[in-house]
Amino acid sequence: MMELDQPVSVLKGAGKETVESLAAIGVMTVGDLMEFVPARYDDMRLKSPEEAAHDEKVTIEGTVQTEPSVMYYGKKKSRLTFKMLSGPHLINVTFFNQPYLKKKAAIGETVTVTGKWDRHRLAVSGQLLEAGAYSRGSDFEAVYLLRNAIPLKPFRKLVKQAIELYGQFIEETLPTRLIQQYRLMERKEAIRALHFPHSHDEMKQARRRFVYEEFFYFQLKMQALRKTIREQSGGIVQKYDLAKLKSLIDSLPFELTGAQKKAVNDICADMKSPYRMNRLLQGDVGSGKTAVATLALYASVTAGYQGALMVPTEILAEQHAQSLHDMLAPFGLTTALLTGTVKGKKRKALLEALEAGEIDILIGTHALIQDDVVFQKLGLVITDEQHRFGVNQRRVLRSKGENPDVLFMTATPIPRTLAITVFGEMDVSIINEMPAGRKAIETYWAKKEMLGRVLDFTEKELQKGRQAYVICPLIEESEKLDFQNALDVHAQLTNHFHGSFSVGLMHGRLNSEEKDQVMKAFSSNELNVLVSTTVVEVGVNVPNATVMIIYDAERFGLSQLHQLRGRVGRGTEQSYCMLIADPKSEAGKERMTAMTETNDGFVLSEKDLELRGPGDFFGRKQSGLPEFKMADMVHDYRALETAREDAKELINDPAFWTDSEYVHLRSMLTNSGVLAGEKLD
Q: Which of 59, 161, 287, 335 binds ligand ADP (CB under 6 A)?
A: 287
> Contact letters (x/-) for Mg ion, 399-428, by CB under 5 A?
------x-----------------------
> Contact letters (x/-) for Mg ion, 193-232, by CB under 5 A?
----------------------------------------
Nearest alpha-carbon partner for 40 in 212, 274, 197, 242:
197
The Cα–Cα gap between 434 and 413 comes to 14
Q: Could you tell me which stretch among 6-14, 122-130, 215-223, 279-287 binds ligand ADP (CB under 6 A)?
A: 279-287
Closer by beta carbon to ligand ADP, 154 or else 435: 435
Measured in degrees and rounded to the nearest 5, phi and psi for residue 92 equal -85, 125
The Cα–Cα gap between 509 and 531 comes to 14
Question: At closest approach, how far in Å is the CB of 375 from Mg ion?
Answer: 16
Closer by beta carbon to ligand ADP, 291 or else 430: 291
The Cα–Cα gap between 611 and 556 comes to 13
User: Which residues within the stretch 613-672 sit at the binding site for ligand ADP (CB under 6 A)?
Assistant: none
User: Which residues within the stretch 403-422 sit at the binding site for ligand ADP (CB under 6 A)?
Assistant: 411
Per rule CB under 6 A, is residue 261 in the interface with ligand ADP?
no
Residue 313, binding choice from ligand ADP, Mg ion, none, Cβ under 5 to 8 Å by partner class: none
Residue 415, binding choice from Mg ion, ligand ADP, none, Cβ under 5 to 8 Å by partner class: none
Question: At closest approach, how far in Å is the CB of 602 from Mg ion?
Answer: 29
Question: At closest approach, how far in Å is the CB of 537 from ligand ADP?
Answer: 12
Per rule CB under 6 A, is residue 272 in the interface with ligand ADP?
no
Nearest alpha-carbon partner for 467 in 504, 517, 418:
504
Bridge partners of residue 140, in order along the sequence: 43
Specify whether the CB–CB gap between 138 and 196 falls below 8 A: yes
The Cα–Cα gap between 547 and 521 comes to 17
Task: For 386-488, list the strands marked E by DSSP.
Answer: 405-410, 427-431, 442-446, 467-471
Q: Which of 289, 555, 565, 591 binds ligand ADP (CB under 6 A)?
A: 289
Bridge pairing between strands 335-338 and 361-364: parallel
Specify whether the CB–CB gap between 482 and 552 falls below 8 A: no
CA terminus-to-terminus distance, the chain: 23
Which residue type occupies 489? Answer: V
What is the number of alpha carbons within 13 Å of residue 616 lying toward its C-beta? 11
The Cα–Cα gap between 152 and 72 comes to 28
Give the torsion through C-alpha atoms of 97, 103, 108, 113, to 10 deg.
Answer: -30
Question: At closest approach, how far in Å is the CB of 419 from ligand ADP?
Answer: 17
Closer by beta carbon to ligand ADP, 249 or else 680: 249
- Beta-carbon contacts of residue 289 (< 8 Å; ≥ 6 apart): 281, 283, 384, 409, 411, 431
Closer by beta carbon to Mg ion, 314 or else 405: 405
Closer by beta carbon to ligand ADP, 271 or else 409: 409
Nearest alpha-carbon partner for 191 in 216, 169, 218, 175:
169
Specify whether the CB–CB gap between 515 and 315 falls below 8 A: yes
Specify whether the CB–CB gap between 137 and 197 falls below 8 A: no
Closer by beta carbon to ligand ADP, 93 or else 411: 411
Per rule CB under 5 A, is residue 288 in the interface with Mg ion?
no
Q: If you ran DSSP here, which 8-state letter would residue 29 be given?
A: B
Per rule CB under 5 A, is residue 235 in the interface with Mg ion?
yes
Q: Which of 161, 257, 559, 599 binds ligand ADP (CB under 6 A)?
A: 257
Residue 235, binding choice from ligand ADP, Mg ion, none, Cβ under 5 to 8 Å by partner class: Mg ion
Question: At closest approach, how far in Å is the CB of 427 from Mg ion?
Answer: 12
Residue 422, binding choice from Mg ion, ligand ADP, none, Cβ under 5 to 8 Å by partner class: none
Specify whether the CB–CB gap between 61 and 111 falls below 8 A: yes
Per rule CB under 6 A, is residue 288 in the interface with ligand ADP?
yes
Residue 285, binding choice from ligand ADP, Mg ion, none, Cβ under 5 to 8 Å by partner class: ligand ADP
What angle, rounded to 10 degrees, do the helices at 258-272 and 289-302 form?
Answer: 30
DSSP structure string for 150-183: S-HHHHHHHHHHHHHHHGGG----S-HHHHHHTT
Residue 435, binding choice from ligand ADP, Mg ion, none, Cβ under 5 to 8 Å by partner class: ligand ADP
What number of chain residues touch Mg ion (CB under 5 A)?
3
- Distances from the Cα of 559 to the Cαs of 3, 556, 613, in angstroms? 49, 8, 13
Question: At closest approach, how far in Å is the CB of 398 from Mg ion?
Answer: 13
Question: At closest approach, how far in Å is the CB of 319 from ligand ADP?
Answer: 9
Per rule CB under 6 A, is residue 285 in the interface with ligand ADP?
yes
Question: At closest approach, how far in Å is the CB of 383 from Mg ion?
Answer: 17
User: Which residues within the stretch 563-602 sit at the binding site for ligand ADP (CB under 6 A)?
Assistant: 570
Specify whether the CB–CB gap between 550 and 525 falls below 8 A: no
Closer by beta carbon to ligand ADP, 190 or else 267: 267
Query: CA angle 579-414-399, nearest 5°?
Result: 120
User: Which residues within the stretch 99-118 sit at the binding site for ligand ADP (CB under 6 A)?
Assistant: none
Bridge partners of residue 406, in order along the sequence: 278, 381
> Contact letters (x/-) for ligand ADP, 4-43, by CB under 6 A?
----------------------------------------
Q: Which of 62, 235, 286, 473 binds ligand ADP (CB under 6 A)?
A: 286
- Beta-carbon contacts of residue 246 (< 8 Å; ≥ 6 apart): none
Residue 139, binding choice from ligand ADP, Mg ion, none, Cβ under 5 to 8 Å by partner class: none
> Contact letters (x/-) for ligand ADP, 524-563, by CB under 6 A?
-----------------x----------------------
Nearest alpha-carbon partner for 296 in 305, 286, 287, 283:
305
Per rule CB under 6 A, is residue 435 in the interface with ligand ADP?
yes
Closer by beta carbon to Mg ion, 235 or else 283: 235
**Nearest residue relative to Mg ion (C-beta):** 235
| Sign of the torsion angle spanned by Cα atoms 518, 522, 524, 526 | positive
Q: Which of 18, 290, 467, 605 binds ligand ADP (CB under 6 A)?
A: 290
Give the torsion through C-alpha atoms of 489, 540, 429, 611, to 10 deg.
Answer: 0
Q: Could you tell me which stretch among 7-15, 268-276, 547-555, 600-608 binds Mg ion (CB under 5 A)?
A: 268-276
Per rule CB under 6 A, is residue 312 in the interface with ligand ADP?
no
Q: Which of 21, 112, 260, 563 binds ligand ADP (CB under 6 A)?
A: 260
Q: Which of 283, 307, 379, 415 binds ligand ADP (CB under 6 A)?
A: 283
Interacting residue ranges for Mg ion, rule: CB under 5 A: 235, 271, 405
Interacting residue ranges for ligand ADP, rule: CB under 6 A: 254-257, 260, 283, 285-291, 411, 435, 541, 570
